[in-house]
Amino acid sequence: MKRHYIPVTAAVPGVNESQVAFIRKVIRTALAAQGVDFPCEVDVLVTSDEEIRALNREARQVDKATDVLSFPAFELRPGELPGPGDADPGTGLVPLGDMMISLEHVTAQAKEYGHSNRRELAYLTVHSVLHLLGYDHVDEGPMKARMREREEAILGELGITR
């Protein structure tokens, strides 16, 4: 079977091959945990606070840096998946969307929450995959709780605990 295509672009220094491989592993684990069993594409940009702030301002009219931005290719509800019929005819891959992660936020939030940069990077990556698959946390209620539950389950599968 054709595998997922996960190009990772590092627009900042300090991103090494093992981190890139880790991001890909986290994405593949999250996709499998959500039942995505068809080949798809997720484009990842690891960037700076400055660049993510510009993207946030442009895309969401929010003029501040953030930890992660997700740009889903489909409007899905949690549990709903695109199908193989949504694949790009040229590549045979279903384009799920793009994620941008601020490496500066990864470092700052890991320190703030008292855990490793690796755990924070995994958390933000899983969080973004869930956004690409229709999860959201616009309210503080059941939607957010369901998203947190999935995040913790996927991090558990990766052996990453609090």
Q: What is the pLDDT of residues 36-91, one digit of tens each?
A: 989 999 999 999 999 999 999 999 999 999 999 999 999 999 889 998 889 999 99
Does some domain include residue 162?
no
Q: How far apart are the first and last CA of the chain?
A: 34
Helix (H) or strand (E) run with residue 47 in it? strand 40-47
Q: Which residue range is the domain that position 149 belongs to?
A: 8-157
Burial of 114 (0-12, 13-18, 19+ CB in 10 A): exposed
C-alpha–C-alpha distance, residues 16 and 33, integer Å: 26
Task: Look at strands 68-72 and 94-102 and give their pairing.
Answer: antiparallel
Instruction: Tell me the residue type at 37.
Output: D
- CATH number at 73 reads 3.40.390.30
The count of structural domains within the chain is 1
Residue 2: inside a domain, yes or no?
Answer: no
Asked if residue 77 lies in contact with residue 130, where contact means CB atoms within 8 angstroms, the answer is no
Backbone angles phi, psi at 124, to 5 degrees: -65, -35
AA identity, residue 2 = K
Does some domain include residue 136?
yes
Per residue in 78-125, pLDDT tens?
889 998 889 999 999 999 999 999 999 999 999 999 999 999 999 999
